[in-house]
Amino acid sequence: MRISDGVEWAVHVCGVLAAAPKGQGVPGLKLAEFHELPPAYLAKQLQALSRAGIVAADRGVKGGYRLARAPSDISLLDIVLAIEGTGPVFRCTEIRQRGPCPTPPAACRRICPIARAFLAAEAVWRTSLAGVSIAEMNRAAAAESFDDKRRHQFEAWIADAAR
């Protein structure tokens, strides 16, 4: 049970896009270059973000990716669900209905205590991730690891990358 690398990439990319000039798009190639990621594979993750309505994509020579909504309105959970899919982590194969002493179908109308416990645990996990937004993380990251020099370096880079 491990989380895909694409989730980490997507979170970082959204952080960069949140800091990009309003109304301008950043090409996927530039985003890949920023973190030294495989461009073609990152493009696939960006497609998933686009399908989920988290980023918007403009094609053509002045195209690129930009956030589809405000950074404060995009949570970690949104990104995880976009990349990993919305299905539950624990999925039941109904083995209780098999074997020499099966649970009768009538008793299987409601999910069993085991599945309930896993769903409840996933619910609090999702709630926790839903509570932190891109905007908050960018603010925290800037305060912790940006000095004036690096901030200027970043702004120069993104001014060149944005279209």
Partner DNA sequence: TCCAATTCGGACAATTTGTATCCGCTTTAA
Partner DNA sequence: TTAAAGCGGATACAAATTGTCCGAATTGGA
The CA distance from 140 to 134, in Å, is 10
Binder to DNA among 22, 23, 36, 60 (CB under 7 A)? 60
11 binds its own copies (CB under 8 A): yes
HEC profile for 46-84? HHHHHHCCCEEEECCCCCEEEECCCHHHCEHHHHHHHHH
Q: Tell whether residue 12 is a contact of ligand SF4 (CB under 6 A).
A: yes
Q: How far apart are CA 140 and CA 76, in angstroms?
A: 14
Angstrom distances, CA of residue 98 to CA of 15, 72, 93, 103, 115: 48, 48, 10, 8, 17
User: For ligand SF4, which residue of 40, 89, 92, 120 counts as binding (CB under 6 A)?
Assistant: 92
* Cβ atoms < 10 Å from Cβ of 73: 13
Output the CA angle 64-70-76, nearest 5 degrees.
Answer: 90
111 binds, among DNA, ligand SF4, its own copies, none (CB under 5 to 8 A by kind): ligand SF4
Whole-number Å distance between alpha carbons of 84 and 10: 11
Taking CB under 6 A as the rule, which mask of x and - marks residues 99-118 in contact with ligand SF4? Answer: ------------xx-xx---
Does 14 bind DNA (CB under 7 A)? Our answer is: no
Examine residue 47 and tell whether it contacts its own copies (CB under 8 A). no
Contact set with its own copies (CB under 8 A): 1-5, 7-9, 11-12, 15, 33-37, 76, 80, 84-85, 87, 89-93, 95-96, 98-101, 103-104, 107-108, 110, 112-114, 117-118, 120-122, 124-129, 132, 136-137, 140-141, 144-145, 150, 153-154, 157
Contact set with DNA (CB under 7 A): 1-2, 4-6, 25-29, 38-41, 43-44, 46-47, 50-51, 57-65, 84, 163
